[in-house]
């Protein structure tokens, strides 16, 4: 399923770590609620706020396009529920590329690229 930033979803908590909680959105996709997005204020122990198996309503904050990781917010969904006029704050919207795959470098010999590089160097001079 394709998710969109700002979309409201329902999922089940599958794991709790000191930095956040993992939520299963469907049978194949899960996302992470960072501890800072669990509720407004300071959360010292996430296990006091959430439990494995609990169903929660979340909002999609960010989707990394390279690896498909989904960032979720429990806090934003609670704020929307209490005040429908309150806009969702999208603070992590950006594309992240961890490699230079878009440069189309491949496994070719230097001899194949040498003429192109010389021409490019001469154009710069």
pLDDT confidence tier of residue 24, bands split at 50, 70 and 90? very high
Query: In sequence order, which ranges of the chain are alpha helices (DSSP H)?
Result: 74-82, 110-124
Sequence spans of domains, the chain: 8-94
| Contact between residue 66 and residue 99 where contact means Cβ atoms under 8 Å apart | yes
Q: Are 60 and 10 in contact (CB under 8 A)?
A: no
Q: Is 11 exposed, middle or buried (0-12, 13-18, 19+ CB in 10 A)?
A: buried
Res 99 pLDDT > 90: no
CA angle 46, 94, 102 (to 5 degrees): 125
Q: What is the pLDDT of residue 35?
A: 87
Quote the pTM value. Answer: 0.61
Q: pLDDT confidence of 85, banded at 50, 70, 90? A: very low
- Between CA 92 and CA 42 the distance in angstroms is 20
Average pLDDT over the chain, rounded to an integer: 79
Q: Contact 31/50 with Cβ under 8 angstroms?
A: no
* Phi and psi angles of residue 120, each rounded to the nearest 5 degrees, phi first: -65, -40
Residue matched to tokens 């160097």: 121
| Distance of alpha carbon 59 from alpha carbon 110, whole angstroms | 49
pLDDT (mean) for 38-52: 84
Fold of 8-94: OB fold (Dihydrolipoamide Acetyltransferase, E2P) (2.40.50)
pLDDT value for 86: 45
């Amino acid at each position: 399923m394709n998710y969109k930033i700002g979309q409201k979803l329902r999922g089940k908590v599958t794991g709790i770590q000191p930095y956040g909680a993992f939520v299963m959105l469907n049978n194949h996709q899960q996302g992470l609620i960072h501890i800072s997005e669990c509720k407004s204020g300071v959360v010292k122990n996430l296990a006091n706020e959430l439990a494995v198996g609990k169903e929660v309503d979340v909002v999609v904050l960010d989707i990394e396009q390279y690896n498909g990781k989904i960032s979720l917010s429990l806090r934003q969904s609670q704020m929307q529920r209490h005040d429908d006029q309150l806009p969702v704050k999208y603070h992590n919207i950006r594309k992240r590329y961890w490699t230079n795959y878009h440069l189309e470098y491949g496994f070719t010999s230097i001899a194949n690229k040498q003429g192109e590089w010389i021409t490019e160097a001469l154009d710069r001079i």
